[in-house]
Chain A
Amino acid sequence: MAEQSEPLVGIVVVSHSAMIAEGLVELAGQMAGSEVRLLAAGGAADGSLGTDAGRIAEAIAEADAGAGVVVLADLGSAVLASKLALEMLGPEAAGRTRLSGGPLVEGAVVAAVQASAGDGLAAVLEAAEEAAHMSKDVA
C-alpha cells in the first residue's frame, strides 16, 4: 500500500460552545481517519459561551499540515472571530485558509470525509458548503 505522502487539508470547528465544537470533532473524527487534523476551537477563553480569536488562530495553525485549512463556524460572531484570527495569523496563513459559509455539523462531517480522501482545499470547501443541500429524507 502506498504511503500517504501528500499532506491532508485540516479542519477547524468553531462554535460559541466548547461542547459543540468538541462533540463535532469527535463525530466527524469517526469518518475522518487518524491522519486528518481536526481541531475544536469553541467557547470563550474562560470557557463560557462565546468565541476567542486567539484560540481559533492557534487551532488553524495547528491544523495546517501544509495543504491548508477549512474552518467551519456556527453563528455570525464565530465568523467575525475567525476572520480576526486570520488577520492575526497574517496573509500567508490566511491565503491557505478557507471559511465555510455552510452548515456546521453536516459540513464538518462531509469536510472530514473529503479531506481524508485527499481532496484539495477548494474541493473540501465546496463539499462543506454543498452540505447545505443534503437531504435528510424526513418525509
Chain B
Amino acid sequence: MDGSGSLSFEDVRGWVRRYAGVIAENKVYLTELDSAIGDADHGINMDRGFTAVLLKLDALSGDDAGVVCKTVGSTLISTVGGAGGPLYGTLFLQFGIAMSGHPSVSLNEWLAGLDAGITGIQRLGKAEPGDKTMLDALMPARDALKQALANGTPPNEALRDAVAAAEAGMKATIPLVARKGRASYLGERSAGHQDPGATSSYLLLKAAADTWSEVG
C-alpha cells in the first residue's frame, strides 16, 4: 500500500490468491488442530473452498474492488461444508459489500468490512469473546486496526499491528474451554489446544499484511 493505504481490485485479488496458497500449505496443520478438538476437517474444507475460489478468480475483471470478496463469499458458502462455510462466507461477503462500487478503496473500507463481517459472524453463531472461536483472533485485530488508524498510524504499520493482535488472540485460545462449535462437545478436554478457526483467521489477516504492507 502507498502512504494513503489505497487498495485496488488487483491488490484484493492478490490477497485472496495468497491466502488460498496459505490454506493449501497449512491444510494438514489446520486439520490436525481440528482433529484435536473438532471433526478433523477444517483444513480440508477450507482448501476445498479456496481451490474453488482460485478457479473463479482469474475470470473476474477489475473495476470494482468489492467483486473479488463477494465472489469468494458466495463460493465458500456453497463449497465449505462445515461451520466455516457460512462464517467465512459471511465475512467475505461483508468485505465485498464494504469495498464495492469503487475501483480502489482505502484500508478504512477494509476495516469496515472486517467490522461488519464480525457482526455477521456473531449474528449467525452468537459467539462471544473467549468462547474459543475465530472471533478471538478477528476481534482483537479489528480493535487494534481501528485504534491505530484513529491515531494516525501509517496504514502499513496499522495493518501489521492488527496482525500482531490477531496472533496474540489466536495463541490466547489455547487455554480456553470451547463454548461454541464442535469443540464445545469436548468440554474441558478442549483446553490446551489452539483453536483452528482462530488460526485460519489469523492467517487470513497475515496474508493481507504480507500482500499489502512492505516489510519495514
Q: Which residues of B contact A75 (CB under 8 A)?
A: 182
Within 8 Å by CB of B81, from A48, A76, A83, A84, lies A48
**Chain B 62-81 interface residues, beta-carbon cutoff 8 Å to A:** 77-81
Q: Which residues of A contact B180 (CB under 8 A)?
A: 76
B113 interface hit (Cβ, 8 Å): no
B187 interface hit (Cβ, 8 Å): no
B154 interface hit (Cβ, 8 Å): no
Q: Which residues of A contact B155 (CB under 8 A)?
A: none
Q: Which residues of A contact B78 (CB under 8 A)?
A: 45, 52-54
Please measure, in the bound complex, the distance between the C-alpha atom of A16 and the C-alpha atom of B180, giving whole angstroms: 17
CB of A15, distance to nearest CB on chain B (Å): 12
Please measure, in the bound complex, the distance between the C-alpha atom of A106 and the C-alpha atom of B90, giving whole angstroms: 32
Please measure, in the bound complex, the distance between the C-alpha atom of A50 and the C-alpha atom of B41, giving whole angstroms: 10
* CB–CB B182/A80 < 8 A: no
Please measure, in the bound complex, the distance between the C-alpha atom of A80 and the C-alpha atom of B91, giving whole angstroms: 14
CB of B22, distance to nearest CB on chain A (Å): 22
Q: Which residues of A contact B125 (CB under 8 A)?
A: 76, 80
CB of B184, distance to nearest CB on chain A (Å): 8
Q: Which residues of B contact A83 (CB under 8 A)?
A: 86, 123-124
Please measure, in the bound complex, the distance between the C-alpha atom of A45 and the C-alpha atom of B87, giving whole angstroms: 16
CB of B16, distance to nearest CB on chain A (Å): 20
In the complex, the chain A residue whose C-beta lies closest to that of B185 is: A75
In the complex, the chain A residue whose C-beta lies closest to that of B181 is: A76
* CB–CB A50/B82 < 8 A: yes
Within 8 Å by CB of B124, from A16, A45, A46, A80, lies A80
Give 1 or 0 for each of A83-94: 1 = CB within 8 Å of chain B CB.
110000000000
Number of interface residues of A (CB under 8 A): 19
Please measure, in the bound complex, the distance between the C-alpha atom of A46 and the C-alpha atom of B182, giving whole angstroms: 21
* CB–CB B81/A44 < 8 A: yes
B85 interface hit (Cβ, 8 Å): yes
CB of A89, distance to nearest CB on chain B (Å): 13
B83 interface hit (Cβ, 8 Å): yes
In the complex, the chain B residue whose C-beta lies closest to that of A88 is: B77
* CB–CB B81/A53 < 8 A: no
CB of A2, distance to nearest CB on chain B (Å): 43
Give 1 or 0 for each of B32-50: 1 = CB within 8 Å of chain A CB.
0000000001000100100
Within 8 Å by CB of B77, from A16, A43, A46, A84, lies A84
Give 1 or 0 for each of A1-24: 1 = CB within 8 Å of chain B CB.
000000000000000100000000
Give 1 or 0 for each of A72-86: 1 = CB within 8 Å of chain B CB.
000111001101100
Q: Which residues of B contact A16 (CB under 8 A)?
A: 81
Please measure, in the bound complex, the distance between the C-alpha atom of A50 and the C-alpha atom of B90, giving whole angstroms: 17
CB of A73, distance to nearest CB on chain B (Å): 12
Asked whether A53 and B85 contact (CB < 8 A) given A76-B180, A83-B124, A84-B124, the answer is yes
Q: List 9 A-B contacts (CB under 8 A).
A: A44-B79, A50-B41, A52-B78, A52-B81, A76-B83, A77-B86, A80-B124, A83-B86, A84-B86
Using A44-B81, A50-B41 as known contacts, list a sample of 9 further A-B pairs with CB atoms less than 8 Å apart, ordered by residue number in A.
A43-B81, A49-B81, A50-B45, A51-B81, A51-B82, A51-B85, A53-B85, A75-B182, A83-B124
The residues of B with any CB-CB pair to A shorter than 8 Å are: 41, 45, 48, 77-83, 85-87, 89-90, 123-125, 180-182, 184
9 tightest CB-CB pairs across the interface, nearest first?
A50-B81, A44-B81, A77-B83, A84-B86, A80-B86, A80-B124, A83-B124, A81-B86, A54-B78
